[in-house]
Amino acid sequence: MFVAAIRAEGLYKVFGRRPDDVVRQLDEGASTEDVVARGATPAVIDVSFEVQPGEIFVVMGLSGSGKSTLIRMLNGLLTPSAGHVHVGDRDVSMLGAKELRQLRSEEMSMVFQHFALLPHRTVLENAAYALKVRGFDKETRDEKGRDALNLVGLSGWEDRLPSQLSGGMKQRVGLARALAAETDIMLMDEAFSALDPLIRREMQDQLIDLQHRLNKTIVFITHDLNEAMRLGDRIAVMRAGRIVQIGTPEEILREPADDYVAEFVKDVDRTRVLTASSVMEPVTEQAGSHDQYGRVSANTLLSDVFAMTERNPLPLAVVDGDNRTLGVINERTLLHAMVRADEGQAREQEASHG
Ligand SMILES: Nc1ncnc2c1ncn2[C@@H]1O[C@H](COP(=O)(O)OP(=O)(O)OP(=O)(O)O)[C@@H](O)[C@H]1O
């Protein structure tokens, strides 16, 4: 049987008095406003999803939408008011304190926005800290710590102190600490949000690269849609405690579930999310007849397709990994894709003019 890396099922977290009653009221159709008016804070409401092994699953939503509360229930830092979290085949709510500690140190590591480094310990000691807690000997700790620092591009900085590092480098040490723990799952809560835009993009690229090499399962929280679109294999959009849509970046862009999500995605540069295969016209004739066309692979971003058209005349054949023609991109397809992008902008302008 196939087991998801993480499975959340009907999760609720209500802060305040009598959470059980509040869950029941919400279940029976009470509105969030009703229960808030009675003094409860329903931070997470009836959330279910599965994260597959090796997936980057992004949870995206505005401040206060319940992202941090949700991620803290995944590793048992918070107990759900109702519902279940399974990590592999184990129900997190059934674990005792010792097993929970083990889960957090050996199976799910966590990276926060403001990562607390130990100021008087070296970069290497900080990176290997989780291993010290787990009782590894110094030699093993140093080796794994060095490997992790190497992965995040900090070789040569082992003996420095945190105060000698820039913000981006400190965050890399945080990432190295999570990597050194060699957990299959990494939970990242706004891990790059404190970094300036250039460094932030670098870190995003590095995470994608690490993910390809190490095949971790990553749950990544962000309030930034562009970051979500860049990193996520799938994105869960949260609003006021509920998940309003789960889908690939393309699905969310092409078919937003409601006006709220549509409003969110309107500013995204579509050419950097949509791929050749999502805008092509599927082939109707025999594939062989497109031999004379220039080729572009199915997952090429539209922005790169546009760049290619400066060197290659249209049409282009869209091919899969085995070089089979899946479809064709011609002037009409590209125009169509651009018009859809303009429609988004037109909607936005209309909205801003009331
Ligand atoms: N310990 C707590 N006690 C009471 N209310 C809480 C607690 N933790 C969170 N909340 C409330 O739950 C709601 C969701 O908060 P949460 O921090 O999960 O949202 P978020 O999407 O992560 O936002 P941010 O990005 O600002 O952290 C908010 O209304 C918050 O005030």
- For residues 333 and 202, membership in a common domain is answered with no
Ligand 1 and 271: CB distance under 6 A: no
Q: Note the pLDDT tens digit of each residue in 238-265.
A: 999 999 999 999 899 888 999 999 988 8
What's the whole-number average pLDDT of the chain?
Answer: 88
**Which CATH number is 316's domain given?**
3.90.1280.20
Return the axis-axis angle of helices 167-180 and 138-151, rounded to nearest 10°. 130
Identify the domain containing residue 167 by its residue range. 51-75+89-269
Mutate to test the pocket of ligand 1, among 13, 65, 78 (most ligand atoms within 8 A of CB): 65
Does ligand 1 come within 6 angstroms of the Cβ of 69? yes
Statement to judge: residues 66 and 200 lie in one domain: yes
pLDDT digits (tens, 9 = 90+) for 188-206: 999 888 888 888 888 898 8
Segment 291-315 shows an average pLDDT of 87
From 33, 41, 190, the mutation candidate for ligand 1 (largest count of ligand atoms within 8 A of CB) is 41
Quote the radius of gyration of the chain (alpha carbons, Å): 23
Give the model confidence (pLDDT) of 114-127 as tens digits: 767 899 999 999 99
Report the pLDDT value the prediction gives residue 354, as an integer from 0 to 100: 43
Q: What pLDDT digit, counting tens, does each position of 274-289 carry?
A: 888 888 988 865 555 6
Residue 80 forms part of a structural domain: no
Same domain, 215 and 281: no
Which residues face 236 on adjacent strands? Answer: 59, 246
Q: How far is the CA of 197 from the centre of ligand 1 (A)?
A: 25
β-pair partners for 51: 6
If residue 98 lies in a helix (H) or strand (E), which one and from where to where? helix 97-102
Query: Residue 275: what pLDDT?
Result: 87
**Is residue 30 domain-resident?**
no
User: What digits encode the pLDDT tens for the residues 1-28?
Assistant: 678 999 999 999 999 989 999 999 999 9
pLDDT at site 2: 74
What pLDDT, in 10s, does the model give residues 79-123?
999 999 999 999 999 999 999 999 998 899 998 877 678 999 999
β 41-51/6-15 pair status: antiparallel
What CATH number has the domain bearing residue 176? 3.40.50.300
